Structure 1
Amino acid sequence: MALRPVMVNVKALDPSAVGRFWAMALGWSAYSPGVTTYVGPPGGLVWPDPVAVGIDVVPVPEARTATKNRVHLDLATTSAAHQAELVARLKALGATPADVGQSDVPWTVLADPEGNEFCVLEPREIYRDTGPVAAVVVDCADPRAMARFWGEAMDWTLLEVTDDRAVWRSAEGVGPYLEFLRTPDVKAVPDRVHLDLLPRPGDDKAAEVARLRALGATDLDLGQGDVPWTCLTDPEGHEFCVLAPPH
Structure 2
Amino acid sequence: MTSDLEALVVAADDPAGLASFWSGVLRRPLGVGTAVLPVTETEFPIRFVPTTAPKDVPNQMHFDLTSSSLEDQQETVDRALELGGSHLDIGQGPDAEHVVMADPEGNELCVIPPGNNFLAGTGTIGALSSDGSQAVGYFWSQALGWPLVWDQDEETAIQSPRGGSKISWGGPPVRQKTARNRLHLHLSPVGDDGVTAEVQRLVALGASRVDPALADPACLAEEWLPLLDPDGNELCVRA
Same fold (TM over 0.5): yes
Contact residue 9 and residue 193 of structure 1 kept, 8 A = yes
Identity of aligned residues (%): 33
Residue 90 and residue 160 in structure 1: after superposition, are their counterparts in 2 closer, same or farther (change >3 A)? same
**In 1: Cα distance, 2:130 partner to 2:191 partner:** 27
1:92 aligns with 2:82: yes
Kindly indicate whether residue 68 of structure 2 is the aligned counterpart of residue 113 of structure 1. Answer: no
Matched, 1:238 2:229: no
What TM-score do you get using the length of structure 2 for normalisation? 0.88
Structure 1 residue 223: Cα displacement: 5.8
Shift of 1:148: 2.9
Counterpart amino acid of 2:84? Answer: G
Cα separation, partners in 2 of 1:57 and 1:106, compared to 1, 3 Å: same
Q: 1:223 to 1:94 in 2, by over 3 A?
A: closer
1:23/1:40 contact within 8 Å kept: no
- TM-score normalized with structure 1 length: 0.86
- Asked if the contact 1:32/1:38 (under 8 Å) is kept, the reply is yes
1:191-206, aligned counterparts within 5 Å? 191-200=181-190, 202=192, 204-206=194-196
Q: CA separation in 2, counterparts of 1:202 and 1:26?
A: 35
1:116 partner amino acid:
N
1:167 to 130, 138, 157: 157
Contact 2:137 2:168 in 1 (8 A): no
Structure 1 residues 154-184: Cα deviation after superposition (integer angstroms, max 9, x where no partner): 1111112123410111012x21011011253
Mapped to 2, the partners of 1:223 and 1:78 lie a distance apart of: 37
Task: Name the structure where helix makes up a greater proportion of residues.
Answer: 2
Q: How many Å apart are 1:207 and its aligned residue?
A: 1.0
In structure 2, do the counterparts of structure 1 residues 100 and 202 end up closer, same or farther at CA, with 3 Å as the change threshold? farther
Deviations 1:186-205 (A, max 9, x none): 11111011122222364522
Q: Which residue of 1 aligns with 2:46?
A: 55
Structure 1: give runs of 5+ residues left out of the alignment: 42-48
Compute the RMSD of aligned alpha carbons.
2.0
Q: Would the alpha carbon gap of residues 223 and 85 (structure 1) be closer, same or farther in structure 2, given more than 3 Å must change? A: closer
Contact conserved, 2:2 with 2:189, CA < 8 A, in 1? yes
**Whole-angstrom CA distance in 1 between matches of 2:106 and 2:79:** 17
Shift of 1:241: 1.2
Q: Of the candidates 119, 140, 143, which is equivalent to residue 150 of structure 1?
A: 140
Matched with 2:209 is 219
Task: Report the AA paired with residue 191 of structure 1.
Answer: N
Letter of the 2:102 partner, please give it. Answer: A
**Code of the aligned partner of 1:20:** S
Give the structure 2 partner of residue 122 of structure 1.
Answer: 113
Give, in whole Å, the separation in 1 of the partners of 2:172 and 2:7. Answer: 23
State the 1:117 CA deviation: 0.4
Q: Which amino acid aligns with 1:146?
A: V
| Residues 37-64 of structure 1 deviation map (CA, whole Å, 9 limit, x = unaligned) | 11135xxxxxxx5642121100112232
Question: Does 1:228 find its partner at 2:223?
Answer: yes
CA distance in 2, matches of 1:150, 1:29: 28
| Residue 89 of structure 1: how far off its partner (Å) | 1.3
